[in-house]
C-alpha cells in the first residue's frame, strides 16, 4: 500500500509504491474503456490551484475527479488570497477545512512542500520548476504498455535538464530502467538529482545526443524554453540547436524505440515534424495516460480511511 500521504516528488516514493500507482492506473484505464464505473471518490472534492496555466493538467484532473465520482474546483491565483500575499500556511489550513485534497501547479517546489506541511489533506504536485511527478507516472505507464516491462529498458532524455529531466531520471531509475540524459553542460539536471542518480547503476549524463540515444527503447524530449523562460527563447534556441530529436537520433536508438513528449511540442525545434508525426500515436497515448495515472494517485491518496 502507498504509505505516503502526498505526491510531492517521485523521490519520496518507493519502487513498490510507484508500481502500485501504475497497476491501479492500468486497472482504471481498462474499466473506463469498458464502461465500468469506479466511483472511488464519491462525495470527495479536489481543489486545483493553478499559478501556471495548463491544458492537460486541468482537463485530466477535472475529468478524473468526475470519473471517480467526486468534483474538482479550479482555483487560479486570481481566485485565492495566496495570490495577494496570504501566507501559504494559512491557505493550507483553510483549504484543509473545506476540501479532501489539493492539486497545485506552480513555480516553487517549496510552496508545494509548505502546503503539505501546514495542511491536513493530501497534496499532489501538478508541476513545479523542480519536478513533474504526475507526467512521469503517465510516461512510465506508457512505456510499460508498449514494451511490456520497465526493468532493463533504456530511457533517453534529450534537451534541457529541467523538471522533466529531473523526474524522468528518478522515476526511470526507481523502476529498474537504464537512464541516459543529454544536455548542454550549463543546462544540467538538478545537482540533488544527479547525486541520487550517480549512486544508481545504468545512469549516464552526457553532452552528445547520439551517445545518449544509443540503444534506447524510449527517446524523450521537451521544449527548450519552459513557461516563465520565454525571454530566454532566442538564446536557448542557439544553445540547444544540436539537441533535436530527429531521424539521426532515432537511428541510434533501438529499432521500434518510442518517442515521448510531455507537450506542447514545438515542431522544428526540439523535435522534427517528421519524427513527431511518425510517433504521434504513442505521444498521444502518453497524453491520455495523464488521466489514468492521476486518477490512480487521487484514488490512493484521497480515498476514505
Binding residue positions: 54-57, 81, 105, 132-135, 163, 222, 226-227, 262-263, 290
Spatial separation of the C-alpha atoms in residues 190 and 162, rounded to whole Å: 8
Which of 6, 129, 131, 132 is labelled catalytic?
Answer: 132
Classified as helix, coil or strand, 171 is helix
Give binding residues for carbamoyl phosphate as ranges: 54-57, 81, 105, 132-135, 262-263, 290
- In whole angstroms, give the CA distance from residue 63 to residue 214: 38
Residue where the block lists cell 505516503: 4
Contact yes or no for 38/28 (Cβ under 8 A): yes
Q: Other CB atoms closer than 10 Å to residue 254's CB: what's the count?
A: 16
Which residue among the candidates 135, 144, 217, 279 is catalytic per the annotation? 135
The rounded distance, in Å, linking the Cα atoms of 134 and 128 is 11
Going edge to edge, which strands form the sheet with 258-261?
203-206, 178-182, 154-158, 218-221, 258-261
- Catalytic residue flag (residue 262): yes
Is residue 34 a contact partner of residue 151, using CB atoms and an 8 Å limit? no
**Minimal CA–CA distance to 76: which of 97, 47, 98?**
47
Distance CA 226, CA 185 (A): 18
Q: How far is CA 20 from the centre of its chain?
A: 17
Active-site option among 6, 44, 279, 290:
290
Continuous segment of H or E residues that includes residue 88: helix 88-98
β-sheet bridge partners, residue 260: 220
Which one from 44, 51, 100, 105 is the annotated catalytic residue? 105
Q: Rounded to an integer, what distance in angstroms lies between the CA atom of residue 139 and that of residue 150? A: 11
Catalytic residue among 222, 244, 261, 279: 222
Q: Quick check: is 290 catalytic?
A: yes
Q: CA-based Rg of the chain, rounded to a whole angstrom? A: 19
For 167, half-sphere exposure in the C-beta direction (CA atoms, 13 angstrom radius) is 30
Whether 44 is a known active-site residue: answer no
Residue 132 annotated to the active site: yes
Which positions are annotated as active-site residues?
105, 132, 135, 222, 262, 290
Amino acid at each position: 500500500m502507498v504509505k505516503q500521504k502526498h505526491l510531492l516528488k517521485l523521490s519520496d516514493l518507493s519502487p513498490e509504491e510507484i508500481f502500485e500507482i501504475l497497476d491501479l492506473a492500468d486497472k482504471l484505464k481498462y474499466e473506463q474503456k469498458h464502461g465500468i464505473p469506479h466511483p472511488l471518490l464519491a462525495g470527495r472534492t479536489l481543489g486545483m490551484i493553478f499559478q501556471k496555466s495548463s491544458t492537460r493538467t486541468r482537463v485530466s484532473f477535472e475529468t478524473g475527479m468526475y470519473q471517480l465520482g467526486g468534483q474538482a474546483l479550479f482555483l487560479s491565483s486570481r481566485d485565492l488570497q495566496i495570490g495577494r500575499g496570504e501566507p501559504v500556511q494559512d491557505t493550507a489550513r483553510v483549504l484543509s477545512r473545506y476540501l479532501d485534497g489539493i492539486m497545485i501547479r506552480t513555480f516553487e517546489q517549496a510552496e508545494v512542500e509548505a502546503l503539505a506541511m501546514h495542511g491536513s489533506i493530501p497534496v499532489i504536485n501538478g508541476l513545479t520548476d523542480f519536478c513533474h511527478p504526475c507526467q512521469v507516472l503517465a510516461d512510465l505507464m506508457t512505456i510499460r504498455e508498449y514494451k511490456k516491462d520497465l526493468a532493463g529498458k533504456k530511457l533517453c532524455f534529450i534537451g534541457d535538464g529541467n523538471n522533466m529531466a529531473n523526474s524522468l531520471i528518478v522515476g526511470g531509475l526507481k523502476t529498474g530502467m537504464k537512464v541516459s540524459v543529454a544536455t548542454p553542460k550549463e543546462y544540467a539536471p538538478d545537482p540533488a538529482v544527479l547525486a541520487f542518480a550517480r549512486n544508481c547503476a545504468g545512469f549516464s549524463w552526457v553532452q552528445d545526443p547520439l551517445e545518449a540515444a544509443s540503444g534506447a527503447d524510449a527517446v524523450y524530449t521537451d521544449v527548450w524554453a519552459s513557461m516563465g523562460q520565454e525571454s530566454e527563447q532566442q538564446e536557448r534556441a542557439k544553445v540547444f540547436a544540436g539537441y533535436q530529436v530527429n531521424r539521426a537520433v532515432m537511428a541510434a536508438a533501438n529499432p521500434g524505440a518510442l518517442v515521448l513528449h510531455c507537450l506542447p511540442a514545438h515542431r522544428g525545434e526540439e523535435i522534427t515534424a517528421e519524427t513527431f508525426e511518425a510517433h504521434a500515436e504513442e505521444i498521444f497515448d502518453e497524453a491520455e495516460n495523464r488521466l489514468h495515472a492521476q486518477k490512480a494517485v487521487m484514488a490512493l491518496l484521497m480515498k476514505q480511511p
